[in-house]
Structure formats: structure tokens, C-alpha cells
Amino acid sequence: MLTIEGLAKGDKLHPVQEAFLSEGAFQCGYCTAGMIMGVVGLLNEKPKPSEADILSRMQKHLCRCCSYPRILTAIRKGVHSTQAESL
């Protein structure tokens, strides 16, 4: 079973974790682990998800702080970074 802690490789964060951090895509952090794991799960199933795939997957995740614009920016950035790493 993979957890949020298991995504990093040593001191190097997973690109989705890095994107959430660089975009400040959280306030309280309560939803962050679930959102990141949801995106990583989507990437494992579909390495090149469409915008519709991303929105559909993330519909199940709720953020009480309403950081959705920053979260979506971070998700898009993380997806792009993951795709660039695989080239």
C-alpha cells in the first residue's frame, strides 16, 4: 500500500507533491494528502489525463478552505512535470 509519505524518493518529492508545495495549494492541509494521492492514482492509471479526467477524478475530494483554484493549478503543474520526467 502506498501512502503520501512513500511518494518521495529520499529527499526528492514526487512532482505532484512538489507542485502542491510550490503553488501553495493548501491552507489547513486536511485534504492535501488525499488530493495528491488521487492525482497520483490517476497518473498511474492514465499517464496523460485530459482536463475532463482530472476534473472527474478530483470531484470526490473536498477542500473546506476552498483552495480549488490553487489546487487545480498545482494538479495541472504536477501532471505536466510527471509527463516531462517520463520523456
pLDDT digits (tens, 9 = 90+) for 17-74: 999 999 999 999 999 999 999 999 999 999 999 999 999 999 989 999 988 999 999 9
Provide the grid cell at 22. 510550490
For residue 66, the Cα-to-chain-centroid distance in whole angstroms is 16
Confidence of residue 85 (pLDDT cuts 50, 70, 90): confident
Confidence of residue 86 (pLDDT cuts 50, 70, 90): confident
Reported pTM: 0.92
Task: Specify which residues 9 forms β-bridges with.
Answer: 12
User: What per-residue confidence (pLDDT) applies to 39?
Assistant: 97
> Domains in the chain, ordered, with CATH?
14-85 (1.10.150.120)
For the beta carbon of residue 44, count every other beta carbon within 10 angstroms: 9
Q: Would you say residue 84 has pLDDT above 90? A: no
Q: How far apart are CA 61 and CA 38, in angstroms?
A: 8
Q: Which of 11, 19, 12 is nearest to 35 (CA)?
A: 19
User: What per-residue confidence (pLDDT) applies to 70?
Assistant: 95
Provide the grid cell at 37. 494521492
Task: Specify which residues 12 forms β-bridges with.
Answer: 9
For the beta carbon of residue 39, count every other beta carbon within 10 angstroms: 28
